[in-house]
Amino acid sequence: MSGKKPGPSLPLSIGLIVVSTIVFCVALYILVRPIFGLLSGDPIPVPGRATEQYDEGVYDIYEQVFSFGGGFGRTSLRPEDVVVTGPDGTVATQRVNSISSLSRNGANYEAVLQFEAATDGDYTVDISGTDGWVVIGESFDTAWDGAAPWIIAAIVSSLTFLVGFVMLIVGMVRRRNHVDRSTGPPPSTAPPPSMAPPATMTPPVAPPAAPPSPTTGPSDVPW
């Protein structure tokens, strides 16, 4: 008789769930990292200076064009208004190739300039110009260049998680049914005999005596 348990393997099911969850979390982090950087970065006043740590990549400079209490406006920053200094020296700025915008705290920002961080490190951004605010974040154009493999990884890991979860449920149900069939129905237990009181001996009762037969005497004869 084989000792193999019925249903899908429990370690295999749990392994698929754990591995797929890890892969999905990594893929999701890489895909949303540019958005998270834009939402978490602090606005920089114009004119002003800020030093931030940037990873290798291309970064867009978003200029504020609308805010509550104000009105619509035009972007005014030019490449010569922004000086970026990194670990390797001065970094050139240029106008963006595509238009992108974002909204933060009731203000709209539009990408106007961009620069490339060749290495990881601290970068100092000096901005001159009219009063306003800017936000710096990783460019979506370059951030999504290598996103296709991670999108596929997120989809495949989601499907793998579902497969592992279904295997886990099916295995648990089959093992429980197998245990129920192997043990059989529980033995019936008869109720304990009732405790009857001990029998008592009743003495025999003598039959009643027969009545005496009537006799006829001389005084009973009528004259």
**What b-and-e string marks burial along 137-175, b requiring 16 or more CB atoms within 10 Å of the CB?**
bbbbbebeeeeeebeebbeebeebbeebeebbeebeeee
Instruction: Note the pLDDT tens digit of each residue in 36-74.
Output: 666 666 788 989 999 988 888 889 998 888 645 444 456
Instruction: Note the pLDDT tens digit of each residue in 96-129.
Output: 887 777 777 778 888 899 999 999 999 999 998 7
Predicted TM-score (pTM) of the model is 0.54
